[in-house]
Structures are given as C-alpha cells and as structure tokens.
Amino acid sequence: MAKDHDGSTPVSDAAGSGLAHQGGSEASPGTAVVVADPIPNPGFEPERHRVADLDPKKEKAQERRVAGLFLLSIVGSVFAIVAYIVFPIVPGDLDTVRANTFFLGLGITLGLLGIGFGAVHWAKSLMHGHDLVEQRHSTRGSEATRAKALEVFAAGNEESGFTRRKLIRNSLIGSLVVFPLPAVVLFRDLAPAEDPVALLKHTLWEEGVRLTRDPSGTPIRASDVTLGSAFHVIPEGLEESSHPLEEKAKAAVLLMRLKPEQMNISEGREDWHYDGIVAYSKICTHVGCPVALYEQHTHHLLCPCHQSQFDITEEAKVIFGPAKRPLPQLPISIDDDGYLVARSDFTEPVGPSFWERAL
C-alpha cells in the first residue's frame, strides 16, 4: 500500500483496499481524512514574448496578415453573390444545381473562415498574451469595480489596438458588414417572381374545366361517383401547365357523393353540388397536408398529419383537430357530355392561412 510523506494513507488507497490505518489503529470505512495537497501551487509560467512583441517589423507583418484574412472574407462574400447570379439554377438540370451549390458554398466558406481565422490570428499574434486572475464577485460591482472595469476595457482596447489599428478594425467591420449580404440575396430569391398573393389565391380551376382522376387525368362522369366512393381529382390540362407540381399542390380536390337529405347547405351554395356530388379542396387548412382519408359511414375527412377532421355533411366544417377553417368547396356541375366540370375557381384561397389571405 502506498504511503505519502507524513505516513498517512491516501484516500484512494484506503478505498481501494477497504482498510485505512491511522496512527496504527484500524479506521472504519468513510472516516479517512483527505490530506492537504502536497503539491504547491506552481503559479503562472513566466510570459514568453512572441516575435511580434519584440520586433515592430514583425508586428506590422502580422497586422497585414490579419487584415488580409478579413479582406479574404470580403472577397468570399462578394464571390458568393456573384456566383449565385452567374451560375443560376436551371429547373431540371442537376449540373446547374451542383455548380450553384459548389460556388455559393465556396464563397460563404471563404467569408466565414476569413473572419474566423482573422480574429483568432489577431488575438494570438498581436493582442497581449499574459495570464490574468479574476476573482469572482457579486453581479453588480461597486463603483470602484465598475470604474476599474472601464479601465480594463480601455486597456483591452489599447492592447488589442482596436481603435489604433485602423486597417484591421476597418477591414473587420467591412467583412462583417459584407458577410450577411449573400443571405439577403438568397432569401430574397426564395420569393416567387410573380405576386405571391395572386399565386396563392387562384388555382387552375375555372368554369368548364373538367374534373379528372389523379394521376391518370381521365375525366369523371357524374354516374361514376357512387355513394361511399371518393375520387382524388386534378383539373384537366394540369400536365400542360407551366408548373404542374405547384398547380397540383393548390388544385387537388376530393370528390364524394352524399344523399341529398344528408346535406346541410348554406345560402348561396345551393348549386355548388351536382346531385349530391360534392368537391372539396384536398389541402388541409391547418398547415397544408393532403386530407386523404375518407370515412364513408360518417362522411368525415381526416388529415393524417395532425388529425384534423372535417364533416362534409356540414360543408367540411372542422369537427376536431387544430385546423381552424373548413375545407374550401369547389362549385361543380356537368357538361353536355355528362362529365363533371368546375363552375368557377374556389371562392376563397385554399390551404393554410397566410398574412394577406383576407386582402
């Protein structure tokens, strides 16, 4: 068993063996005394001066190096903006996506690394490197302490050279100002080029557009829609539209048939159904999931995302869940050949609420 300099047994040894001896008598477990730390506090190592502390020429070189890193950051940020414009993403062309992502990432990386490395290099090569001991104290210091803090702050400013080294300070401020610009350009470009309110308020449905099966696109006769059946519907001509996926995301509809006596129709909607056949937007008014589950016995539609339920005997009003508005109804009729057609577009925006919805 190991002994320290005064002959007592260290705690770890006592615990390890289950026995401790003090003054020749056997101590019971848990009564061993922790001895004083035998190793004196070595204190701080003497400060080692760096080349930049001793040679003004080297100091100047380090200063230029730091400024160079901040300037590199500016170049990277500007490069990211230029790359985003010069290498646009062409829909459907993966090579353009790769080029855009690569050069954009390269620019943003340079922008970030330039600031990071510049700040670290500044601190390591030019700011004072001596060790300090700061005692803990209550949150608000006395007036004297606060005055001292200001003094330390001023000293820090003086030692770091933030106000004195104008080249570094200005290049750092420049890189910090320029760095967020790529984000501004990127986020601005996320918005559609056209008026988003008009885009959200209108769908491909208009008077005379046939209701067709999703995804085959075959038209639906009124006689096809039997009691208890449910059709997933898209507007005829969807594939020929310029943005079929986006248009489908707004225009998708569910079609069902009710017995006329089951329907509770509000004023103004008397001719929105055809012989008990009703069409409702498939886009949940909560956050836009497809409401794809139809319970034929209760005539409830269920959104699988957060369990909102809509009662189509009550014009798809919400009977459960987080959705706040009924599913918009598509007014329908039939054409001369007996196919179901829309009477108009939806009379309100489909899907979740958005800021300008009521405008």
- Positions in the binding site for ligand FES (CB under 6 A): 284, 286-289, 303, 305-306, 308, 321-323
- As a whole number of angstroms, the distance between CA 36 and CA 43 comes to 18
Smallest separation (angstroms) from ligand FES to the CB of 177: 41
Question: What DSSP string describes 256-290?
Answer: EE--GGG----TT-TTSSBTTEEEEE-B-TTT--B
Query: Which CB atom, from 224 or from 314, has the smaller least distance to ligand FES?
Result: 314
Supply the angle between the helices 166-178 and 56-86 in degrees, to the nearest 10. 20
- As a whole number of angstroms, the distance between CA 235 and CA 217 comes to 8
Smallest separation (angstroms) from ligand FES to the CB of 323: 5
Backbone φ and ψ for 326, nearest 5 degrees, come out as -65, 160
Smallest separation (angstroms) from ligand FES to the CB of 237: 28
Q: Are 321 and 307 in contact (CB under 8 A)?
A: yes
Smallest separation (angstroms) from ligand FES to the CB of 358: 20
Query: Which CB atom, from 116 or from 304, has the smaller least distance to ligand FES?
Result: 304
- As a whole number of angstroms, the distance between CA 214 and CA 231 comes to 8
Tell me 174's DSSP state.
H
Query: Which CB atom, from 244 or from 288, has the smaller least distance to ligand FES?
Result: 288
Query: Which CB atom, from 167 or from 289, has the smaller least distance to ligand FES?
Result: 289
Query: Which CB atom, from 310 or from 346, has the smaller least distance to ligand FES?
Result: 310
Query: Which CB atom, from 185 or from 289, has the smaller least distance to ligand FES?
Result: 289
Smallest separation (angstroms) from ligand FES to the CB of 346: 18
Geometric angle at alpha carbon 158, from 157 and 160, rounded to 5°? 65
Q: Are 78 and 85 in contact (CB under 8 A)?
A: no
Structure tokens at 86: 């010069």
Question: What DSSP string describes 11-61?
Answer: HHHHHHHS-EEETTEEEPTT-PPPPPPSSPP--PPPPPPPHHHH-HHHHHH
Smallest separation (angstroms) from ligand FES to the CB of 221: 30
Smallest separation (angstroms) from ligand FES to the CB of 67: 52
Smallest separation (angstroms) from ligand FES to the CB of 289: 4
Query: Which CB atom, from 174 or from 352, has the smaller least distance to ligand FES?
Result: 352
For 4-35, letters b (16+ CB in 10 Å) and e give: eeeebbbeebbeeeeebbeeeeeeeeeebeee
Q: Are 104 and 83 in contact (CB under 8 A)?
A: yes
Backbone φ and ψ for 74, nearest 5 degrees, come out as -60, -45
Smallest separation (angstroms) from ligand FES to the CB of 353: 12
Query: Which CB atom, from 106 or from 289, has the smaller least distance to ligand FES?
Result: 289
Query: Which CB atom, from 129 or from 290, has the smaller least distance to ligand FES?
Result: 290
- As a whole number of angstroms, the distance between CA 319 and CA 300 comes to 9
